[in-house]
Amino acid sequence: DIQMTQSPASLSASLGETVTIQCRASEDIYSGLAWYQQKPGKSPQLLIYGASSLQDGVPSRFSGSGSGTQYSLKISSMQTEDEGVYFCQQGLKYPFTFGSGTKLEIK
């Protein structure tokens, strides 16, 4: 199985700050990576797919980049509504696997 290692486990950011979350795959996943945001008591919401494609309706302050085994999610200007837990997920091979999550809070 492809292992997804996500970092950091948690972070706090000020309003307007740029935030970056990292995800490393145990093998090359050829940009088959998605990012999700999950808020308490809610189901996950797709933010990015194909490593860098912004899902419809997602604010443009979210962006994804990377290739091979290293990927990142960037929030260019932290907003209050961006608090939540963020997960990466590889969709190249079954079983699909998720990172352990990054809890993002407002400082």
Partner 1 sequence: VQLVESGGGLVQPGKSLKLSCSASGFTFSSYGMHWIRQAPGKGLDWVAYISSSSGTVYADAVKGRFTISRDNAKNTLYLQLNSLKSEDTAIYYCARRHYSGLDYWGQGVMVTVSS
Radius of gyration of the chain (CA): 13
Task: Output the smallest distance, CB 90 to partner 1, in A.
Answer: 8
Contact segment (CB under 8 A) with partner 1 among 18-26, 31-39, 73-81 equals: 31-39
Instruction: Please provide the DSSP assignment of 18-87 as one string.
Output: -EEEEEEESS--TT-EEEEEE-TTS--EEEEETTTEEPTT--TTEEEEEETTEEEEEESS--GGG-EEEE
Question: How many chain residues are in contact with partner 1, going by CB under 8 A?
Answer: 27
What lies within 8 Å, CB to CB, of 51 at 6+ separation is: 31, 32, 33, 64, 65, 66, 67, 71
91 near partner 1, judged by CB under 8 A: yes
Site string for partner 1, 64-83 (x = CB under 8 A): --------------------
Question: Which residues inside 39-58 make contact with partner 1, applying CB under 8 A?
Answer: 43-46, 48-50, 53, 55
59 near partner 1, judged by CB under 8 A: no
> Can you give the binding site for partner 1, defined by CB under 8 A?
31-34, 36, 43-46, 48-50, 53, 55, 87, 89-92, 94-101
